[in-house]
Homo-oligomer: A and B are copies of this chain.
Amino acid sequence: MTDPARAGIPEDGRIPRYYRAKRQILALCKTLGEGVALPSERQLCTRLGVARATLRQAVLQLVVEGWVDSRQGSGSFVVGRRKIAQHLGTADGPGPDALTGRTWTTFERRRAGCELAQELRIHRNDSVIHLECVRGSGNEILAVESAFIPAKRFPGFNHAPVGNRSLHDELRTRFGVTFGGADQGTETAHVSPREADLLGTLPALPALVVHRTSWDALGEPFERVRTLYRGDRLTLVNRLGPVERRPEHEQAENRSSCS
């Protein structure tokens, strides 16, 4: 992809060792091609002339950025999969969901506390229901999601939705609550130990976190949701502006030289 900020080289031309190693391994990945194993740590250290800690720093960044898949005991591989595009939603609503798989892992009641109470416009001593699920596509687990809803608005809601069913479907069919709109914020955060367990990733892996407060058709807030997406596997996409992009020209010549 388009070289970031003059390929990362500082004005003084001095390049940290880990960064030089990272660029070299990335070039090697492109030569080797998808799914191919990288040389062993020892071989790479010798070849690139760096210490093991330096090599690990370089490889970890490539894992986080989705270029390398590193599995304990079986080495590192060039990633062949493209990142999955998850829609951030538009004025029409949440948009198509790339993560159709869902397994509910938690259903519990707790005291709202100050911050949730403000978002949901309830009292801080009111109960909220906390529902947690892991979400994915195919066999891959790609996100962990926690939703908090005011308990008094959903009487008789005593267990998580059955199977793959979404919370929005459940709230609409059982309680007549429909989605009217939401404010979202996207940030970076680290995968906590529990989230790493649920996702099957390294702890402390950088991730994309989306916080959302949704309201119903009358504009009344009914949920606060935190979704943590694997940063190495997802791109959050959105479209701007009133004009459609023109359909693509024939570019067979360029394409063949790029693949």
Give chain B nearest CB distance to A229 CB in angstroms: 9
State the copy count for this chain: 2
Give chain B nearest CB distance to A23 CB in angstroms: 9
Residues of B near A235 (CB, < 8 A) are 185-187
Give chain B nearest CB distance to A91 CB in angstroms: 6
B181 and A85 form a contact (CB under 8 A): no
Residues of B near A1 (CB, < 8 A) are 115, 211, 226
Residues of B near A144 (CB, < 8 A) are 4-5
Give chain B nearest CB distance to A179 CB in angstroms: 6
Q: How far is the CA of A187 from the CA of B82 in the complex (A)?
A: 13
Residues of B near A116 (CB, < 8 A) are 2
Residues of B near A19 (CB, < 8 A) are 192-193, 203
**Which of B7, B204, B238, B245 interacts with A61 by CB under 8 Å?**
B204
A91 with B179, Cβ < 8 A, contacts A64-B190, A226-B4 known: no
A115 with B246, Cβ < 8 A, contacts A188-B64, A206-B206, A240-B89 known: no
The segment out of A39-47, A96-104, A154-162, A251-259 that lies at the interface is A251-259
Q: Which residues of A contact B (CB under 8 A)?
A: 1-11, 15-16, 18-19, 57, 61, 64-65, 83, 85, 88-94, 106, 114-119, 121, 123-124, 132, 144, 146, 148, 179-190, 192-195, 197-198, 203-204, 206-209, 211-221, 224, 226, 228, 231, 234-246, 248-249, 251, 254-255, 257-258
8 contacts between A and B (CB under 8 A): A5-B228, A7-B192, A64-B206, A83-B187, A92-B241, A92-B242, A93-B241, A179-B241
